[in-house]
Structure 1
Amino acid sequence: MRKVIVLNFVSLDGVIQSPGGPEEDTSGGFAYGGWTGPYADDVGGTVINRQMNMPFDLLVGRKTFEIWASYWPQHADAWPGVNAATKYVASNTMTSHEWQPSVFLGGDIAEKVINIKQQQGPDLHVYGSGNLVQTLIKHDLVDAFWLKIFPLTLGGGKRLFADGTIPAAFKVTESTVSSTGVIIVNYERAGAIPTSTVSGSRHP
C-alpha cells in the first residue's frame, strides 16, 4: 500500500501558512509570508534535496497545485521528479490543466485517497495544502509527517493540527537540527496512544 506523507514547514506554534513568500497565501490577513527564508542552510538544503529526488507522486490542494504549476514546468532541471510525478489534485472546481500528468479529485476526497493508496505506485507526498491536510488527518489517512520545525512563533494563521485531529501515536524515524535551529524530524504512525501512570505522581 502506498503511504501518504505530509511534508511541511511549521512554526513552533503550529502554523504552516505561506512559508515560501509574502504573496503565497495572505488569506485571513496573514502578514508573515516567507518566514522560512532567513533560516535556510546547507543542512536543510541537503535534506530537502534528498526528499525531492526520491520516487513520489504528489497529492495537493488546488491552491498549492496552482503555485507549483506556475513555477516547476519552467524549472524542470532542478528536481525532474516534480514534473514527472503524477499530481493528484483535490479540487471541486478544477478539472484539467496543461501541467501533466495530473488527476483531479472532486467529491469525497477521503474515499478517493483511500483508493489511490491501494493502487500500485510510489508514496504520495503532500506539500502545503492546509485544507487537504486537515481532511487527511481527520480521516486517519496520514502515515507519516516529515516536518521542518522553525524556531519562531507566528501568533496566527493556518495550523497543521487543527480541529478534527485524531488521537494517534508516532515514532521518530529520523531527526537532525540545522545550523539555524530548524528541527528536521520524520514521524511515522505507531498505533494508538499508550498511557501509564508516571512514577511519583500517585496520590497517597
Structure 2
Amino acid sequence: MREVSWNHSRLIRENLVEEVSKLKQLPGQDILVAGSCQLVNTLMQHDLIDEFRLMVFPIVVGNGKRLFRDDNVRKVLKHVETKTFCSGVTVLTYQPHRSETHNK
C-alpha cells in the first residue's frame, strides 16, 4: 500500500509502536483497529491499547484465528460495559489494568 484515501487515515511504514504512540498524543478521536490480530497483539505487547471492544455474534462458524495468541504475558482486564443489540450481537468493553500486568 502506497497511500490511503480514507478520512483521517495515516499510513504507517516505519516503526509502528513509535508512530502509534505519537498518534495517541494528538487531540482527536479514538483509534480503531478492526480485524487485525497481528496489529492488536503488537499494540497490546507495548501497552498501547486503552480499551478492548469485543463483538460476540450469535452464530457458530467453526474455527478461525485467535485474537489473543499464546505468550508469556497475561493482561488483566476490567469489564466496563456490555451492550446487546436486537440482532443478538453483544459488544463487551474492557479496559486494561495497567498496574496488574503479570507474567504467567
Larger radius of gyration: 1
The count of aligned residue pairs is: 100
Match of residue 187 from structure 1: 94
**Pairwise CA RMSD of aligned residues?**
2.6
TM-superposed CA distance for 1:176, in Å, is 3.5
Identical aligned pairs, as a percentage?
Answer: 35
Match of residue 154 from structure 1: 62
The answer (yes or no) to whether the contact 2:78–2:95 under 8 Å persists in 1 is yes
TM-superposed CA distance for 1:159, in Å, is 1.6
TM-score normalised to the size of structure 2?
0.74
TM-score normalised to the size of structure 1?
0.42
Q: Distance in 1 between matches of 2:49 and 2:17?
A: 11
Structure 1 ranges of 4+ moved more than 2 A: 97-102, 150-155, 163-166, 176-184
2:73 pairs, out of 156, 162, 166, with 166
Q: Do residues 107 (structure 1) and 14 (structure 2) align?
A: yes
Q: Distance in 2 between matches of 1:115 and 1:137?
A: 16
Alignment gaps of 5+ in structure 1: 1-93, 195-204
SS at match of 2:18: helix
Q: Cα 1:184–1:103, aligned 2, differ >3 Å: closer, same or farther?
A: closer
Alignment gaps of 5+ in structure 2: none
